[in-house]
Amino acid sequence: MDPRLTVKLGSMYPSCTHKELGELACSIQEGKYWKAGPGMTFSVALTRARRLRGRDWVAKVTGLGQVTVPGPLKPYCRRGRVVLVSSSAPSRAVLVLGWPTFLWVMRKGKVHPLVEGALAGKLAGYVGVPRLKEYLKCDDEEGLAGPSGIGPETPGSL
């Protein structure tokens, strides 16, 4: 593990522990990626989105090589960030996460709601932990059951 990389990542993510930064550095050096569901993959960005291909930009990521990055995601795609990639014919970035957000998603098991929100257009651009918690809280409140556990709680249901 390159100590210079860990120092650079530490300046990007000051809230992460040394162990978490080491995991990110190893993920970058070993080319790791994670499946996020059918046709979706989490990869770590290795470069910024730079070269123009048509109307889109291209960035290098772990595991998949190059991915197409739409214009609205271009400012957020940089080395050390996690990119949610649609693994269709031309691999295309859908969402960008910070490393702390990715760790939170994996620890809490919230991969499926994150992918659904990204595909539905409810989550776009760069997503941090506070924004993701806010989204999931709103999403969870809609499906809360009433005191009987059968349906939504209404003012006269008690």
Give the list of residues 6+ apart from residue 93 with CB closer than 8 angstroms, or none. Answer: 49, 59, 67, 68, 69, 70, 73, 77, 83, 84, 85, 86
Spatial contact of 127 and 113, defined as CB atoms under 8 Å apart: no
Determine the pLDDT at residue 56: 74
What's the pLDDT tens digit per position in 42-53? 999 999 988 776
Which segments within the chain are labelled E, that is strand?
33-37, 40-44, 51-53, 56-61, 65-69, 82-86, 92-97, 126-127
Q: Is residue 156 part of a domain?
A: no
> For residue 145, what pLDDT is reported?
41
- Output the domain CATH number for residue 56: 2.40.50
Domain of 117? 33-142
Would you say residue 83 lies in a domain? yes
- pLDDT (average), residues 60-78: 90
- For residue 127, being part of any structural domain is answered with yes
What is the number of domains present in the chain? Answer: 1
The answer to the question of residue 9 being in a domain is no
Residue 85 lies in a domain: yes
Q: What is the mean pLDDT of residues 35-61?
A: 87
- Using pLDDT thresholds of 50, 70 and 90, give the confidence band for residue 89: low
Q: pLDDT-derived band of residue 71, with 50, 70 and 90 as boundaries? A: confident
**Per-residue pLDDT reduced to its tens digit, 106-150:** 998 889 999 998 888 888 888 888 888 888 885 545 444 434 444
Domain-located, residue 38: yes
